[in-house]
Structure 1
Amino acid sequence: MKDSRILSSFQELAHAAGARPLSEMPEHMRARVQVFDTCQVGTVLRAVLFVQAVVAVAAMFGVHEVLGWVTQMAILTGAALPAVLAWLLTVCGLKRQLGLLPMPGQWVAATGLGAISGLYGCGLLVLMGLADLAPWVASASAGALVSAVLVAALMWRSKARTPAGTTARLAELQARIRPHFLFNTLNSAIALVREEPAKAESLLEDLSELFRHALADPKEAVPLWQELELAEHYLGIEQVRFRERLKVEWSIDESASKAKLPPLILQPLVENAVKHGVEPSPTGAIVRISTQRRGSVVVIKVTNTVPAGSGRPGNGLALDNVRQRLTLLHDVEGRFQSALVNGVFQVRLEIPV
């Protein structure tokens, strides 16, 4: 199935030889959730823009012309920008140590580093001869205040992950154990018990694995290979139900398998492909799952053919759910795209390694 025309930025992956079945890999210990995660590009960008906005407003005081304002803003930027970048880099490098401190200690450490960064910015102005009277106290106070605001924003974002992740997980759990899916699976197993007991056993094992993952303790992120295995179990169940109507193609890049994803995020996409591609079609459909590592980015694609006149499209809740959870985990470094072109629907995820 060709899917290179789905989105203009999509590129067809080279088929990975011998990629299935997925080899077992031990899961690495997951790092604790860090409040001070200033290593992400989105966090750095927002922090710099926020500080630059503060500088632009501060530069308005004491000037009466546009040229004077631009000059004053350039001088303040020469101190503020290196200071905020120094703070972000320091906090990024010390995020594990900071995460081990109690909450009051984290605030004290962050604001203390902010004050030091403010002094650093002031020192640059002095060295360049741009400050007649060095405002050491004011610079340290400004650095501490700005860092406190940034820490508050980081903590708000960290707390925002928990309810969003829990709500999404409950929604996916309901989809996983909805009555008709369980009813169809058990009926298929009963029908196979006498004629093909081995296939019935395999079907029940797939169902067991599906429930084990759905009922496991929630995590912030899991490796891609684990999500692929979960999708494989789900497709194994649906393969028994739809038989030759469900055609599955895998193109898996093993070098991408350790990339981190929110848990239970790939299976809903595969479920959507089956629901809207295979189920309404009397002749079935092709579902393709592909992964590829491109430098520091992993591209994941779930593609399915859609029968003509298959009825009204879905409400898109599952896709919105995936998009929001991907943004919470990877911020601007994670990308989500979907498109339906010429009877082929594709969802594309990009995540950092």
Structure 2
Amino acid sequence: MAEPVFFPFATSLDFGEVATISGTTLPDGAPMDRRIEGAAALETAGPSDLAYMDNPKYTEALAATKAGLCLVSPRFADRVPAGTVVLVSPAPYHAFAKVLARVFPSALKPESAFAAQGVAPGAVVHATAVLEPGVTVDPGAVIGPGAEIGAGTVVAANAVIGPQVRIGRNCSIGAGSSIQAALIGNRVIVHPGARIGQDGFGFAMSPKGHMKVPQIGRVIVQDDVEIGANSCIDRGASRDTVIGEGTKIDNLVQIGHNCVIGRHCVICAQVGLAGSSTLEDFVVLGGQVGLAGHLVIGAGAQIAAQSGVAGDVPRGARYGGYPAQPALSWARETAMLKSLLAKRGRKSDAPEG
């Protein structure tokens, strides 16, 4: 039985085309018309493959690679073996991504399982829903009353689009996801199992019990946002939850009601944002970061993985630890604690008397 190819190579490129796409220059004497037919890691790449390297951990793999063409940063250019043509780039990973987007376009976002436009048998589209030409709806998907979906958008199998939801053009709505009380921009990717627009965790607590508070806001997702598999974005309580343009959200992320996420933020897996948190533009949250509610994380700030943030973070700051604090203070505190523990250990090992 032949092994399936999940992401077919859309087109081969000659070395000159790769250099143009990646914004690099071929070295003198390199064969302009030689072609790449695939892309692979340094260890597995062959003479017709493109590879890249920008991490010193892989220096040995670079020296042994058999890739036909390799993108590297300037400091590693002299480590490329003689049989591999080198393309020097200040950002080889970014350059590699540009080339892969050209030759593996089907890997950029979830696609229809049936690869055919239109409403498939087994899908349910309400009579009052409006779908522009070129929308694809897979079997089992449900489009609610009054929903509107733009041209080129794919709604994968068993996804549920709630009443009055608006989804822009060229979006990808993954299998088994659900969207309600939301306005979605253009070129948004929602991966399988994501939940957008369910009510937030809001209760008026009292000794006699906890009264559920109606959540009457929306979720606004701006253009070019990506939302990872099984992530949840609650709708606002009294105002909207907002996800800014170009923000990328990993799998298994929880964003509470009334949160406002700025433009081009990066939120890694298993992050949890309590309600009414605000991230300004270009914030980065490492995996498993937790934010208390009603905080402001300033533009360009970065929070290290597994940090617990209990207070506001200034613009451009680097924080880490639990509770989170400036990274330098956190490093000093950790070093001091190790030193104290080491001293205590030496004392306990010393002979008595």
Q: Which has the higher helix share?
A: 1
TM tier relative to shorter chain: under 0.3
TM-score where L is the length of structure 2 = 0.25
TM-score where L is the length of structure 1 = 0.25
Question: RCO higher in 1 or 2 (8 Å CA, sep ≥ 6)?
Answer: 1
